[in-house]
């Protein structure tokens, strides 16, 4: 069910009476789908300094502050229409390595802590215009890329309000088509954008590869190249499922939270509406085309 119709079909989270009367029922759209905003961590973009890139303490602090400043709860209400749940780890529940107990204040919406962190590392408003400058006094801003859809316009409005509240200037680059945006991101030319990943197989490695140095130029849009993370990934991809492997994955998840190449946002929690004449429907997290396993009973179709 498209999110735009969630308030009509599931007002207050309950199936609308007219749909229930017609024999339609709702069932979870079980899918291993994580959404996030990716930040380019390279020092430069096309040879120019990248204000949010690098691993110096002040740049890491800046990315953390941006993450804490963004209103993920509002995004879940306005954009997702309640069809998502808050995520703290990139690994959704259906994949190995997921830790349901993992939670970090680095991903909580907390503008007061974000502003305190920025103050601590020298990101202050020196000219009184309401926006902070970098520690060296230079102008501070970053670009958020998006495609021209209603949903992304709403997201950009939310980013603008969120960053204004903590004194960071954000501008928006429009890219006409998502494939072109991804192409630019592969080349390291995108400073930030919001995206998501649906697991291809039930293993946390499928998400962890997105920040491995070997995926730069492919799906590592954050240009993240961290020696410890890379070394851990090389071990993880060779090990079978085990507590030892899960421990390495847990360390990688913590590194993502600490260095903030991503703001992990949500797991999708959408619903599928099923007509009463469809028999045997059960959504599988990784098998996305179940049609050959279903049957229909035309006698259950409403008479017209």
Write the pLDDT tens digit of every residue in 177-215. 999 999 999 999 999 999 999 998 899 999 999 999 999
Classify the phi-psi angles of 124: left when phi > 0, otherwise alpha if psi is within -120 to 50, otherwise beta.
Answer: beta
Are the C-beta atoms of residues 3 and 76 closer than 8 Å to each other? no
**Which has the closest alpha carbon to 211: 41, 7, 26?**
41
Task: List phi, psi (to 5°) of 52.
Answer: -110, 5
Going along 46-115, which residue ranges are E strands?
48-49, 84-86
pLDDT score at 285: 83
pLDDT score at 22: 87
Residue 82 pLDDT class (50, 70, 90 cuts): confident
180: domain range?
32-269
Q: Is residue 17 part of a domain?
A: no
Map tokens 């204004």 to a residue: 164
Residue 304 pLDDT class (50, 70, 90 cuts): low
| Residue 107 reports pLDDT greater than 90 | no
Q: Is residue 156 part of a domain?
A: yes
- Quick one: tokens of 175? 């890219």
Specify the DSSP class assigned to residue 203: B
Mean pLDDT score, 44-63: 97
Q: Is residue 287 part of a domain?
A: no
| Residue 263 reports pLDDT greater than 80 | yes
Q: Is residue 281 part of a domain?
A: no
Report the CATH number at residue 98.
3.10.105.10
Q: Is residue 149 part of a domain?
A: yes
- DSSP per-residue codes, 133-178: B-TTS-B-EEEEEE-SSHHHHHHHHHHHHHHHHHT-EEEEEE-SSH
Highest average pLDDT, of 26-30, 251-255, 279-283, comes from 251-255
Instruction: Round the CA-based radius of gyration of the chain to a whole number and report it.
Output: 21
**Percent of the chain at pLDDT above 90?**
77
Q: Is residue 6 part of a domain?
A: no
pLDDT top residue among 5 and 172: 172
End-to-end CA distance of the chain: 24
Domain count, the chain: 1
pLDDT top residue among 294 and 133: 133
Residue 103 pLDDT class (50, 70, 90 cuts): very high
Q: Is residue 148 part of a domain?
A: yes
Are the C-beta atoms of residues 193 and 181 closer than 8 Å to each other? yes
Q: Is residue 120 part of a domain?
A: yes
What is the tens place of the pLDDT at every residue in 113-170?
A: 999 999 999 999 999 999 999 999 999 999 999 999 999 999 999 999 999 999 999 9
Mean pLDDT score, 33-55: 97
Average model confidence (pLDDT) across the chain: 93
Alpha-carbon gap, residue 287 to 283, rounded angstroms: 8
Element (H, E) at 264: strand 262-268
Specify the DSSP class assigned to residue 96: B
pLDDT score at 154: 95
């Amino acid at each position: 069910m498209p999110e735009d119709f969630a308030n009509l079909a599931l007002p207050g989270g309950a199936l609308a009476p007219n749909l229930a009367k017609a024999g339609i029922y709702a069932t979870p759209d079980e899918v291993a789908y994580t959404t996030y905003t990716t930040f380019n961590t390279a020092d430069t973009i096309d040879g120019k300094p990248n204000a949010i890139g690098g691993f110096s303490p002040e740049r890491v602090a800046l990315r953390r502050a941006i993450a804490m400043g963004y209103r993920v709860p509002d995004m879940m209400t306005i954009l997702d229409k309640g069809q998502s749940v808050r995520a703290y780890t990139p690994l959704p529940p259906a994949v190995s390595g997921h830790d349901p107990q993992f939670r970090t204040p680095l991903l909580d919406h907390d503008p007061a802590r974000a502003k305190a962190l920025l103050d601590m590392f020298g990101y202050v408003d020196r000219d009184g215009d309401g926006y902070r400058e970098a520690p060296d006094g230079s102008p501070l801003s970053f670009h958020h890329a998006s495609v021209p859809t209603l949903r992304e316009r709403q997201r950009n409005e939310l980013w603008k309000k969120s960053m204004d509240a903590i004194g960071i200037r954000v501008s928006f680059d429009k890219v006409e088509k998502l494939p072109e945006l991804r192409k630019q991101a592969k080349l390291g030319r995108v400073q930030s954008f919001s995206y998501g990943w649906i697991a291809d197989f039930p293993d946390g490695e499928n998400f962890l590869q997105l920040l491995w140095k070997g995926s730069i130029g492919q799906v590592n849009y954050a240009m993240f190249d961290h020696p410890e993370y890379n070394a851990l990934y090389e071990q993880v991809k060779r090990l079978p499922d085990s507590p030892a492997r899960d421990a390495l994955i847990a360390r990688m998840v913590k590194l993502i939270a600490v260095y903030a190449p991503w703001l992990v946002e949500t797991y999708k929690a959408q619903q599928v509406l099923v007509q009463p004449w469809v028999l045997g429907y059960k959504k599988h997290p990784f098998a996305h085309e179940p049609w050959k396993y279903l049957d229909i009973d035309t006698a259950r179709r409403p008479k017209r």
